[in-house]
Amino acid sequence: MIIDGDDDRDGDGDARPTVIVVTPNPAVDVTYGVDRQLIGETVRVRRADRRAGGKGVNVARVLTALGVPAVTVQPVGGAIGALFAAALDADGIASVSVPIDGETRMTVTVDDRDAHPTVLAEPGPALQKAEWAAVTRAVEQTATRAAWVVIAGSFPPGITPSQLEGMIAAVRRAGARLLIDTHGPFLSVAAQAEVDVVKANESEAIDATGGADGDDAAARLGAAGSAVLLSRGARGAGLRRPDGDWLRRPAVPGVSGNPTGAGDAATAGFIAALLADRGEAEALEWAVACGAAAVRGATGAEFDLDFLRDLIVLPT
């Protein structure tokens, strides 16, 4: 168990041990292992893996592996939604599923363990206003007992950045800290709302801000006062603090595998370290180590815990 103490920021004696991880647009992730990726050909599948996915779920999976109590919150609907909920349960991940009329989506990843995997991602069901309001209420209710909320991934079709503002306000009312990992106008809204931490990879940061490079983009994302966790794939990661100072960390060398989900693992490692009172520099180290452990995992959602234990000292 990593969390050994309480996060009692407001000093009212309330323990806030849990991380709430919101996946606005969850999916059943199917990964097909193939010998080669071939466009326009019939490709024989060597291994098939089906599991509950979406970026928030990946974050929760790594937090759970690290011994950090995490609860996922997501809209879920239809037969694929039932499969999603059952798969989450089977993996021992605590969750709050908000029922919706639409059908939960699937993604298909074609992975040859060599080239970057090909990912086919369905858009997901549109949510009615009342359904989004129900998800927001579930986030607020669960967040009242949480130290951190993570909102990760894309948003369902039809949901606007201003509706994300409503969810950010709900987390604030609940009194939890907030990390958001998303892209485009939603990332900009998160940064403007001055959430505690904005997580982005370099291209997401540049796309959202028009910055000249990763550093410039992170400076723009952090201008309103958020810390920016900027991941750079095989070039490591940086943390731009609200005062404009940078902490930087190179990637773990000699790591190869599937990079999908490395950013989600990095987010989980970062939060886990902060919850263990490790400070920002060590949180960045844990982020980089967890990213590498995810690259070593067999699929985008798997995580090499033994490899991680060789990189950082986890509390027993």
Ligand X SMILES: Nc1ncnc2c1ncn2[C@@H]1O[C@H](COP(=O)(O)OP(=O)(O)OP(=O)(O)O)[C@@H](O)[C@H]1O
Residues facing residue 48 across a β-bridge:
32
Q: Yes or no: say if 58 and 26 are a contact pair by the CB < 8 Å rule.
A: no
Q: Which two tokens stand for residue 273?
A: 């370290």
Least distance to ligand X from the beta carbon of 253, Å? Answer: 7
Contact between 189 and ligand X by CB under 6 A: the answer reads no
288: nearest Cα among 302, 269, 309, 316? 269
Q: Which stretch binds ligand X (CB under 6 A): 25-33, 160-168, 229-237, 271-279?
A: 229-237
Contact between 263 and Mg ion by CB under 5 A: the answer reads yes
Contact between 29 and ligand X by CB under 6 A: the answer reads no
Q: Compare residues 84 and 303 and give the one whose CB is closer to ligand X.
A: 303
Residues 145-174 that bind ligand X (CB under 6 A): none
Q: What is the bridge-based pairing of β-strands 27-34 and 70-76? A: unpaired
Contact between 232 and ligand X by CB under 6 A: the answer reads yes
Tell whether the torsion through CA atoms of 244, 161, 168 and 98 is positive or negative: negative
Least distance to Mg ion from the beta carbon of 88, Å? Answer: 20
- Provide the 3-class DSSP secondary structure of residue 247: strand
Can you tell me which of 288, 301, 308, 311 binds ligand X, judged by CB under 6 A? Answer: 288
By CB neighbour count within 10 A (0-12 exposed, 13-18 middle, 19+ buried), where does 11 fall? exposed
Q: How many residues bind ligand X (CB under 6 A)?
A: 21
Contact between 260 and ligand X by CB under 6 A: the answer reads yes
Least distance to ligand X from the beta carbon of 255, Å? Answer: 4
Q: Which stretch binds ligand X (CB under 6 A): 30-38, 88-96, 117-125, 225-233?
A: 225-233
Q: Choose the one of Mg ion, ligand X, none that binds residue 190, judging by a C-beta under 5 to 8 angstroms depending on kind.
A: none
Contact between 263 and ligand X by CB under 6 A: the answer reads yes
| CA separation for the pair 240, 17 (Å, rounded) | 26
Give the residue numbers marked as catalytic.
264
Residues 6+ apart with CB under 8 A from 268: 58, 59, 60, 61, 62, 63, 66, 68, 290
Q: Which stretch binds Mg ion (CB under 5 A): 35-43, 61-69, 82-90, 258-266?
A: 258-266
Least distance to ligand X from the beta carbon of 196, Å? Answer: 18
Residues 194-223 that bind ligand X (CB under 6 A): 201
Residues 6+ apart with CB under 8 A from 306: none
Map 103-168 to HEC letters: CCEEEEEEECCCCCCEEEECCCCCCCHHHHHHHHHHHHHHHCCEEEEEEECCCCCCCCHHHHHHHH
What residues line the site for ligand X (CB under 6 A)? 201, 231-234, 236-237, 251-252, 255, 259-264, 266, 288, 291-292, 295
What residues line the site for Mg ion (CB under 5 A)? 263
